A = this chain, B = another copy of it.
Amino acid sequence: MKKFMNQPATVVDDYLRGLAGAHRSIVEWDSENRVLQRRDGPSKAKVGLVGGGGSGCEPTHTGFVGYGMLDAAAPGQIFTSPGPNQIVAATRRANQGKGVLHVIKNFTGEVMNFGMAEEILYFEDIDVAQVIVNDDVSIPDDGETAGRRGLGATVFVEKIAGAAAEQGYDLASVKALAERVIARSGTFSVGLSSCTSPARGKPVYELGDAEMDLGIGISGEPGRERVPLGTAQETADIMANEVLSDLAPPQGAELLMLVNGMGGTPHQELYLLAGELAEAAISRGFSVERQLVGSFVTSLDQAGAAVTFLQLDDELKRLWDAPVETVALRWGR
């Protein structure tokens, strides 16, 4: 295993110490409660936003704490949900008297632990609501599984709900908006390699030299199908088709597109793929109005990429464009 790390047991703490040290004006790391929180609260009380989940998917959620996105994040150990007490602490920190929204990715452990935290919080004077992000179109939406995983749409939900909260929307409106983003988003992921977790020290699985893995997760889960590695154009065509046939936006719909690297795929390849994905969407009769390209919802050092499309409307576009100042997203401020 070749990683910049000290020892497996301290990876998450060492990372958070580095992150908080590098961005002292934006975030602080409460190592006792294991909460990464905004350094400065907002100028007036607003709905609080909390995200959380297993580590290894950085900058989700820790890189999204700050003005216009999350008030606090609860990072678990690698590929492991944060505990209920940690989520409770993050919620208390985020609470400003206007209620708190939990943004949960649809993974069994995360859904369970957020639920337990909400039971604990039920006896406190904090109004808590939740949304479950489940945008992974590679999993059938048929009630036979734990459902679709939460992937790239998490970035859209946290950005758009965060902007709405900053602009004074109330808890019910922020939650409804987050649910609209989830309903209008879909993601499909392609792996070119497995990933190596610090504790295990070797790749989770092996993938052939000329194979790509369709429908991977973000915790080292293999995909649903292995196919020969194609050109970027062929791969983009598969990815766009999977998402857009499932999402089925009306012809001419305006889309927000995230082209997301899994951690080990560089800038050059992601933008190259983004060019092909944009053409694939345009050739199907859609308009790609906004793009975000980079590694935002990752799986440690895995090589691969995912596309997320969101069908925009005027309100979603305005909130997407609103100022944000976090470690990983920063514009307009």
Contact = CB atoms under 8 A, between A and B. Distances in A.
A222 interface: no
Contacts of A58: 266-268, 271
B266 A301 contact: yes
Copies, count: 2
B232 A22 contact: no
Given A265-B301, A267-B263, A331-B330, A276 B18 contact: yes
Interface stretch (A44-52, A87-95, A177-185, A291-299): A291-299
A24 B11 CA distance: 38
A265 B196 CA distance: 12
A199 interface: no
Chain A, interface size category, equals 35 or more
A209 B194 CA distance: 17
A85 interface: no
A212 B3 CA distance: 10
Nearest to A329: B330
Given A2-B192, A295-B266, A18 B231 contact: no
A161 interface: no
Interface string A269-308: 1111111101000000000100101010010110101000
**Interface of A: prevailing SS:** mixed
Contacts of A15: 268-269, 271-272, 275
A279 B267 CA distance: 29
A317 interface: no
A199 B312 CA distance: 39
Contact of A264 (B212, B266, B271): B266
Contact of A269 (B3, B270, B278): B3
A333 to B, nearest CB: 8
